[in-house]
Amino acid sequence: MIGVAEIKRIIPHRFPVLLLDGVSEVDPGRSLVAYKAVTSREPHFADLDEYAAPEAYAYPVSLLLESWAQAAVLLARWAEPNPDVLTGRVELLAGIRRVELPHPVYPGSVLRHHVELVRAVDDAAIFTGRTEVDGVTVVRVGQFTLASRTIDMLRLETKE
C-alpha cells in the first residue's frame, strides 16, 4: 500500500533506525499492518566474527520491538503526520506490559507487525498487537503505551 518514502512523510525515524519497509493495511484510528524484511546486512551483525554461534544471528529483541513500536507511531500519526520532531512532537515509549517473544527471528524473515489502537487520551495512546513471520507469531504485545511531548518539554529535561 505504501513504502518507505511515504512512511518518512508520517514519522520522524530515519536511517539507520527507520525499521519499517512498508504498510499493507490501515484502518485509520483503529489498526495497521506494517512489514520489515530482516537481512544479514543489518548493521549490528557487522561485529560478528567467523566463530559466532547461529543464535548470535537472532534479530535483537530491542530492534524487533522498536520496529513494532514504529508501526504503532505510524498508526498514531496517520492522520496528523509528524515527519520532523523539531516542528512537531516526539513520541516517547512510556511503558510495556506482557510482551512475549515465543520464537527468535533470523535474517530472511519478513516481520508483519499487527498494531491495534486500544485507546488514546490526551497525550498518551495505548496499543496492543503481534508480529508474525510466515504466519507464525514471534511477538505478542499485551500493552504498549506511547506518550507524546513537545520538543520544548524535552529540551527542558536535557538541561536538568
Binding of residue 16 to another protein (CB under 8 A): yes
Q: Please report how close the Cβ of residue 27 comes to another protein at its closest, in angstroms.
A: 25
The end-to-end CA distance of the chain, in Å, is 43
Binding of residue 124 to another protein (CB under 8 A): no
Alpha helices for the chain (secondary structure H): 4-7, 61-76, 151-159
32 in Cβ contact with 115 (< 8 Å): yes
Q: Which of residues 43-102 bind another protein (CB under 8 A)?
A: 43, 53, 55-56, 58, 60-63, 65-66, 69, 84-86, 90, 92-102
Q: Is 124 helix (H, G, I), strand (E, B) or coil?
A: strand
Residues in the chain: 160
Residues that bind another protein (CB under 8 A): 12-18, 43, 53, 55-56, 58, 60-63, 65-66, 69, 84-86, 90, 92-102, 104, 151, 154, 157-158, 160
